């Protein structure tokens, strides 16, 4: 009996290896192993190319391979591969017939091979692959200021999951990271955010330590530009760091990514300088599009670049305003012939060439003049009013300035109010330090002035700062 049991066991083992041998010697065996395209996105159209990867599982090379796909269980679209796929190899194949995925929604794609003589059917098909055509957002403005996000790890390569409408891409090297209170590396990045201007405010940045020449991609939601008259994208950026890399903005439209904006290298030279902005016209594009911001770090650690306050919006056609009053300024003994200078910006989409501008002092009667200059969208102009003001009396002067453009669609940014100009009648200068010695005297005088017993040291720069720069003040 033991010998019979052993014989039966031997027969079973041999039969098992026979089956493996037969399977290993299958000559004709093809299958679909991946659906490469289309992929989920914003602007899928009526003619999306369907691309699949097939594999030759058999022992013979194949050069005539029927293949098919269907969408949402519909009719099969059949094509034939007339190219050699060597045994054991794979090939990427695009169907000649495209797919219509133009209606937003979810599409289920199946793909399979139909090789004649293929006896192993279980590896022919790939089914249930989901592709989504995202719906474009139509409620504007779409503002993303990071305030609701959680700070992320500052280590190179760490993942940063964002909860807002903008998302980090999975198809990049590193993530844009949420941060506050200054970027980790000294001599880089901002010390405050743009939204609140405080150290508690949040922004996104690229961590460059250990991540030189790496790309971070931030993706917008899908946006439907058809509801906007003058679509624009504005964001603020901070590029302090001598090894700063590049920030790009691209739009996905018509099935391709198109570059809209590029800036490279250090833009701020220390952390006291203001955030800079880019205001990008999207008017050349229509329908549903997507934006992305690509941050590419530089060659070293001094490349922590930051972005904040992303805004997709409909720019008003007519919108100008005063953004600064640059003269007069506080000083010692202001004169009776002080000039008034204001800075005007065209925030609107339309070019302006006739802009009424007014100012007043201490709530008094407005002084109005008209700026006759051509300002295209985004342009800034410094304008000096004709005539002068008498500010010779000591005291405080409160200046307001504003534009009066007819048809201005956003009056909230027309004015700059409450600039205080102080005319000092006296100047407090020097260190107020008095020195009294019998034989030696402090620098810078030494013992040169032998009669001097009391000295008050005053820096020339302090006198100059108070306006004391005429004859008799500094020699």
Helices (H), strands (E): how many in the chain? 2, 29
Residue 225 DSSP one-character state: G
Q: What is the pLDDT of residue 365?
A: 96
Q: Find, among 127, 114, 131, the residue nearest to 37 by Cα.
A: 131
The residues near 293 (Cβ < 8 Å, ≥ 6 apart) are 176, 217, 218, 235, 247, 248, 249, 307, 310
For 115, 159, 163, 164, 312, the CA distances from 216, given in Å and listed in that order, are 43, 11, 17, 17, 20
In this predicted model, what pLDDT tens digit does every residue of 112-133 receive, in sequence order? 999 999 999 999 999 999 999 9
Q: Is the pLDDT of residue 166 over 50?
A: yes
For 15, 150, 161, 204, 437, the CA distances from 291, given in Å and listed in that order, are 61, 23, 18, 16, 73
Query: CA neighbours within 13 Å on the CB side: how many for 36?
Result: 11
Confidence class for position 425, pLDDT limits 50, 70, 90: confident
Cα 256 off chain centre by: 19
DSSP helix, strand, coil percent of the chain (3-state; round to 5): 10, 40, 50
Average pLDDT for 364-385: 96
Q: Is the pLDDT of residue 76 over 90?
A: yes
Cα 416 off chain centre by: 28
Confidence class for position 450, pLDDT limits 50, 70, 90: very low
How far apart are the C-alpha atoms of 315 and 399, rounded to whole Å? 29
Average pLDDT for 430-449: 46
For 12, 226, 427, 453, the CA distances from 435, given in Å and listed in that order, are 111, 77, 21, 7
- Average pLDDT value over all residues in the chain: 88
Q: Is the pLDDT of residue 324 over 90?
A: yes
Residue 151 DSSP one-character state: P
Q: What is the pLDDT of residue 255?
A: 81
Average pLDDT for 39-55: 92
Higher pLDDT, residue 466 or 289: 289
In this predicted model, what pLDDT tens digit does every residue of 84-109 receive, in sequence order? 999 999 999 999 999 999 999 999 99
Global pTM exceeds 0.75: no
Q: What is the pLDDT of residue 45?
A: 87
For residue 340, report the phi and psi dihedrals to the nearest 5 degrees: -115, 125
In this predicted model, what pLDDT tens digit does every residue of 236-265 receive, in sequence order? 999 999 999 999 999 999 888 999 999 999
Tokens of 72: 């949402």
């Amino acid at each position: 009996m033991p010998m019979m049991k052993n014989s039966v066991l031997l027969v079973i083992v041999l039969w098992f290896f026979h089956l493996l041998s037969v399977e290993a010697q299958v000559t004709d065996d093809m299958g679909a192993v991946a659906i490469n395209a289309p992929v989920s996105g914003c602007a899928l159209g009526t003619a999306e190319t369907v691309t699949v990867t097939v594999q030759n599982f058999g022992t013979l090379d194949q050069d005539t391979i029927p293949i098919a796909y269907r969408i949402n269980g519909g009719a099969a679209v059949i094509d034939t591969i007339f190219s050699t796929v060597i045994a054991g190899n794979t090939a990427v194949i695009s169907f000649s017939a495209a797919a219509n995925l133009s209606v937003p929604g979810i599409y289920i794609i199946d793909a399979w091979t139909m090789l004649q003589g293929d006896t192993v059917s279980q590896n022919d098909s790939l089914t249930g692959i989901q592709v989504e055509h995202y719906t474009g957002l139509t409620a504007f403005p779409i503002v993303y200021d990071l305030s609701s996000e959680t700070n992320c790890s500052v280590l190179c390569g760490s993942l940063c999951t964002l909860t807002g409408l903008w998302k980090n891409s999975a198809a990049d090297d590193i993530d844009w990271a949420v941060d506050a209170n200054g970027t980790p590396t000294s001599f880089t990045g901002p010390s405050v955010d743009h939204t609140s201007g405080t150290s508690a405010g949040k922004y996104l940045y690229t961590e460059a330590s250990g991540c030189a020449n790496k790309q971070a991609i931030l993706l917008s939601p899908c946006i439907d530009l058809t509801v906007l008259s003058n679509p624009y994208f504005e964001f603020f950026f901070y590029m302090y760091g001598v090894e700063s890399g590049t920030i790009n903005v691209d739009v996905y439209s018509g099935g391709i990514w198109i570059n809209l904006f590029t800036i490279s290298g250090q833009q701020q030279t220390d952390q006291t300088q203001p955030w800079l902005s880019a205001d990008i016209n999207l008017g050349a594009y229509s329908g549903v599009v997507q934006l992305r911001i690509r941050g590419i770090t530089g060659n070293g650690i001094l490349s922590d670049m930051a972005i904040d306050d992303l805004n997709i919006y409909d720019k008003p056609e007519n919108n100008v305003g005063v953004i600064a009053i640059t003269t007069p300024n506080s000083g010692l003994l202001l004169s009776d012939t002080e000039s008034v200078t204001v800075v005007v910006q065209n925030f609107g989409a339309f070019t302006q060439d006739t802009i009424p501008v007014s100012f007043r002092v201490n709530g008094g009667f407005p002084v109005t003049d008209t700026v006759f200059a051509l300002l295209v969208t985004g342009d800034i102009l410094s304008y000096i009013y004709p005539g002068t003001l008498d500010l010779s009396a000591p005291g405080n002067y409160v200046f307001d300035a504003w534009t009066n453009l007819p048809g201005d669609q956003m009056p909230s940014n027309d004015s700059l109010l409450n600039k205080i100009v102080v005319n000092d009648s006296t100047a407090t200068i020097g260190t107020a330090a008095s020195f009294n010695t019998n034989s030696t005297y402090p620098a810078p005088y030494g013992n040169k002035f032998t009669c001097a017993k009391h000295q008050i040291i005053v820096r020339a720069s302090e006198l100059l700062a108070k306006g004391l720069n005429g004859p008799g003040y500094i020699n």
